[in-house]
Amino acid sequence: MSTEEKSAAPRSLAEALRVRDDVSLAALLRSRPDLVTPVPTDLTQLATRAGTRASVVRALERLDRFTLQTAEALAVAADPAPYDELLGLMAGDERDPVVAAAVPRAVALLREQALVWGADDRLRLVRTARELLAPSPQHPSPTGLGPTVREATAGMSPGRIQEILAAVGLPSTHDSVSAVSALGALFADRPRMAALLAGLPGESREVLDRLVWGPPYGQVTHDPATHLRRLLDGGLLLPTAPGTVVLPREVALHLRAGRAHRTPEPVPPPVEAAATHRPQIVDATAAGQALTALATVEELLKEWDEGGPAVLRAGGLSVRDLKRTAVALDVPEPVAAFWVELAYASGLIASDGEADERYAATPAYDEWRELPPAERWAGLAGTWLTATRTPGVVGGRDAKDRTLSALGPNLDRSAAPEVRHRVLALLAGLPEGASPTEESVLARLRWERPLRGPRRDGRDGQDDDLRTRLARWTLSEAELLGITGRGALAAPGRALIGAPESARPAKAPEAAEGPGDKLPVHHRTPPAPAPPSPAEHAAATARAARLLAPLFPEPLDHVLLQADLTAVAPGPLEPALADVLGVLADVESKGGATVYRFTPGSVRRALDAGQTAADLHAFLARHSRTPVPQPLTYLIDDVARRHGRLRVGAASAYVRCDDDATLDEILADKRAAGLGLRRLAPTVLAAQADPAALLEGLRGMGFAPAAESAAGDVLIARADARRTPPRAAPEPVPDGPPVPDDTLLTAAIRAVRAGDLAATAPRKPGAGSEAGDAPAAGGQLPRTAAAETLATMQAAVMTGEALWIGYVNAEGAASQRVIAPIRVEGGFVTAYDHTADEVRTYPLHRVTGVAELADDAT
């Protein structure tokens, strides 16, 4: 490198960012969105923010395994490190060609994310990342390497260091620094080190082999064995504490043939196909699952139509109510929790907000039911893909060891949308009709985000990796929803994530050679997906609905009545038919064909809803492809004959009947004792129980009473009468700051460039400072008296020179600007603002001071 090139080399991360173009800065801010919230005032502040611990940790967590291994290697290399040293740590002495080809891409990604800066001969890992990744006794490095000879001998006496030099055949030195340097140079010299190790006994080599891949620390007694004493005398093991020794980093690297990691992983593990099906079968299976999903959600909402379970004091469903819901839906409890949470996230159910708070359907449910089936499914699937509420954690424990309940708090997992989208994208990368093996999907996710691997998740108290569990739940939930069929991604599912309809794995381009900064797309770590705009979300769901609609069978307008008081629906029914039949009969079994059973209670329910016996006979005759069985006709007539003979109203409650013998029968029945009945007239009984309890009590005794209003009219009880006030669906909890869009990035880069121009523009000495003082340092606002500020501004209008000013806006935020004054009047200065690249007007009283720029600044 020439002298000019050396002088041009960046001396800090801020200088490295300053020479980047706008495209590179946009890539940095897009990959690390926390850096742009709020927008930095200049590139120095951007660099400072990029080096904070929280930001660096977040950036490291989003690196793929090989890029992280590259950062770990830089953390154990010299600072700064030449590219060849890094290449040796990654590819080893033999220079593995696959690893060597991947290192430039990893370095380019680390540079892009401002974790590494400097030229290839002086690569520097940002200080915070080095502190996080460098090995220490408290935080062992994933490389398994220990401290260097210099670090391990920091507290060793000079005499002991000279003894080690003599033991390995090195001449003594006059100071410890040169002695340690000589010892480190010996351990790093491959031929000399090989000769030194060749003279060790086998037992000593076995000790080194046990420590070489980590952990590098071992225990020794106060009187070690001969083979251990040999290692200690030669400095191949160095004491770090009483009874503890460590294998120096240089020795370990020699034994590892120069590699920092035992198994570098430059290539992501492939997602393997477990089975392959015809795409038509996959789509048909997924469509069947989608129909089942719609039916299950509708059944859940019908179950809660008249008012669902009570809301716990802490929020959510009780365990008993979840079990009851699971029995009603005929699914396991975890699956019931999934459907309940999906309906809640879609805004179809919510709490009613009453004093006795209960869950119920929202008005949005009625609007949802009016949509075509494919659009209803697309709405559910789109909500699932972006929701952060995670039903899989229901039943676990939170940080305070409280049970996590369905619909309760603390169910949001901000990583869920990213994991769901990524899992489906991996499925889309397989050939159409191919279903993956679960383990290959999990292995790929672990490679893409290794720092989010197995660890304790304090929120739900599980030791398993949260991302792994999210991926498993994604695979099962996608199958429940019909996004996948037989484990393979169906065509509507591809549309939902924006994948092409006929996706095939693209052939990877040839690997780049050399330490270039360009990073091929197929080797980049997938960034966190930006939240789709409303228009993008609507377009994706609409496309998924269009692809799914032809796969749904046409709804049927008929059923098959059978002599055993059942009706068989051989497919999905028209909504109006399904609604009436759901009131008139009970669902006995579900599947490809739904079986309904008629009972006295179900017929009475239809009569309570305002139907007459004639209406029911006509309905069955109109919608049955088989003759109406005689037993069913008799059942309807028998229930209708007795229905309404008793009338229940409010007295607290009363019973009236034209047949006084029936009232005598009720009074004589021992089961009526709890109702507090007494005769008021030959045809009227008064009760202490309320009307609802009186209705249930009489029905339990075998009667079929009807409720009536205060005017004596029969009350029609409708199952869909209960609705909550309008409720908004819960908002997803973002995983950190949102990814900025192009408009925000353009504005942010423009503001940062402008602030940096103001902060770094050369100023003439003496402006805003005492005579003889140096110019104000970057970041420090100029200070001048009001009269001097006005005079300088007026002079600049005549000369056309640019000025450096300090400005405080109405919110009290201070900034530096470079302006070219055009006009000064009325207490305002109108100027071309170089930092904003536009003409602006500023109140003079908000200008803290002014300074002239040096001649070479313009």
Q: Is 800 exposed, middle or buried (0-12, 13-18, 19+ CB in 10 A)?
A: exposed
On the question of pLDDT at 526 being above 80, the answer is no
Strands 803-808 and 814-825: antiparallel
Contacts of 240 (CB under 8 A, 6+ apart): 137, 147, 152, 217, 246
Average pLDDT over residues 786-791: 87
Query: What is the per-residue pLDDT for 447?
Result: 94
Number of CB atoms found within 10 A of residue 226's CB = 9
Element (H, E) at 218: strand 217-219
**How far apart are the C-alpha atoms of 72 and 620, rounded to whole Å?**
74
**How far apart are the C-alpha atoms of 457 and 465, rounded to whole Å?**
8
Of the three residues 196, 228, 256, the one that is the final residue of a domain is: 256
Query: What is the per-residue pLDDT for 136?
Result: 82
CATH number, position 837? 2.30.30
Long-range contacts made by residues 195-204, C-beta under 8 angstroms, separation at least 24?
A: 196/168, 196/234, 197/254, 197/255, 200/230, 200/231, 200/236, 201/227, 201/230, 203/227, 204/228, 204/230, 204/231, 204/236
pLDDT band at 539 (very low <50, low <70, confident <90, very high): confident
Average pLDDT over residues 714-729: 64
**Closest by CA position to 249, among listed 241, 239, 260:** 260
Higher pLDDT, 253 or 817: 253
Cis peptide before 534 (omega within 30 of 0): no
Whole-Å CA distances, 138 to 143, 217, 242, 463, 706: 14, 12, 17, 21, 76
- Could you tell me what percent of the chain has a pLDDT over 70? 88
**Closest by CA position to 391, among listed 306, 476, 324, 307:** 476
197 and 69 inside one domain: no
Contacts of 403 (CB under 8 A, 6+ apart): 319, 395, 396, 397
Average pLDDT over residues 782-799: 86
**How far apart are the C-alpha atoms of 602 and 586, rounded to whole Å?**
7
Element (H, E) at 830: strand 828-833
Strands 566-569 and 560-562: antiparallel
Higher pLDDT, 518 or 623: 623
Average pLDDT over residues 482-489: 95
Residue 740 resides in a domain: no
Contacts of 388 (CB under 8 A, 6+ apart): 412, 413, 414, 416, 417, 732, 733, 734
Per-residue pLDDT tens digits for 566-593: 999 988 888 888 888 888 998 888 777 8
**How far apart are the C-alpha atoms of 41 and 284, rounded to whole Å?**
56
Residue 735 resides in a domain: no
pLDDT band at 700 (very low <50, low <70, confident <90, very high): confident
Question: Please, what is the average pLDDT of the chain?
Answer: 84
Query: What is the per-residue pLDDT for 521?
Result: 37
Question: Would you say 246 and 238 are in contact if contact means Cβ atoms under 8 Å apart?
Answer: yes
**DSSP structural state of residue 494:** H
Per-residue pLDDT tens digits for 621-677: 999 999 999 999 999 999 988 887 776 765 678 888 888 888 888 888 888 888 888
Per-residue pLDDT tens digits for 257-272: 999 999 999 999 999 9
Q: Is 606 exposed, middle or buried (0-12, 13-18, 19+ CB in 10 A)?
A: buried
Question: Would you say 512 and 105 are in contact if contact means Cβ atoms under 8 Å apart?
Answer: yes
Residue 761 resides in a domain: no
Strands 647-649 and 706-707: parallel
On the question of pLDDT at 387 being above 70, the answer is yes
On the question of pLDDT at 760 being above 60, the answer is yes
Query: In the structure encoding, which two tokens stand for residue 332, read together?
Result: 């396991």
**How far apart are the C-alpha atoms of 124 and 111, rounded to whole Å?**
10
252 and 278 inside one domain: no
Number of CB atoms found within 10 A of residue 688's CB = 14
Q: What is the count of structural domains for the chain?
A: 5
437 and 330 inside one domain: yes
489 and 564 inside one domain: no
Of the three residues 602, 617, 642, the one that is the final residue of a domain is: 642
277 and 252 inside one domain: no
Question: Would you say 765 and 777 are in contact if contact means Cβ atoms under 8 Å apart?
Answer: no
Per-residue pLDDT tens digits for 809-850: 888 888 778 888 888 988 899 988 876 667 888 899 889 888
Per-residue pLDDT tens digits for 77-95: 998 999 999 999 999 999 9
Query: In the structure encoding, which two tokens stand for residue 148, read together?
Result: 């260097």
Question: Would you say 106 and 512 are in contact if contact means Cβ atoms under 8 Å apart?
Answer: no
62 and 172 inside one domain: no
Whole-Å CA distances, 344 to 31, 309, 380, 490, 599: 32, 14, 10, 25, 33
Domain that holds residue 588: 560-642
Q: Is 654 helix (H, G, I), strand (E, B) or coil?
A: strand
95 and 215 inside one domain: no
This prediction has a pTM of 0.77
Query: What is the per-residue pLDDT for 715?
Result: 61
Residue 582 resides in a domain: yes
Backbone φ, ψ for residue 328 (5° rounding) = -65, -35
**How far apart are the C-alpha atoms of 229 and 225, rounded to whole Å?**
6
440 and 341 inside one domain: yes
Rg (CA), the chain: 38
pLDDT band at 737 (very low <50, low <70, confident <90, very high): confident
Residue 651 resides in a domain: no
Of the three residues 207, 223, 256, the one that is the final residue of a domain is: 256
On the question of pLDDT at 210 being above 80, the answer is yes
247 and 366 inside one domain: no
DSSP string computed for 692-759: HHHHHHHHHTT---EEB-TTSPBPPP-TT---PSP-PPPPPPPSSSPPP-HHHHHHHHHHHHHHHHHH
Residue 317 resides in a domain: yes
173 and 208 inside one domain: yes
Query: What is the per-residue pLDDT for 459?
Result: 40
- Could you tell me what percent of the chain has a pLDDT over 90? 42
Residue 541 resides in a domain: no
Residue 429 resides in a domain: yes
Tell me the Ramachandran region of residue 315: left when phi exceeds 0, alpha when psi lies from -120 to 50, beta otherwise. Answer: left
Average pLDDT over residues 115-128: 93
127 and 160 inside one domain: no
Per-residue pLDDT tens digits for 169-196: 889 888 889 999 999 899 988 899 999 9
Question: Would you say 413 and 404 are in contact if contact means Cβ atoms under 8 Å apart?
Answer: no
440 and 292 inside one domain: yes
**How far apart are the C-alpha atoms of 584 and 602, rounded to whole Å?**
5
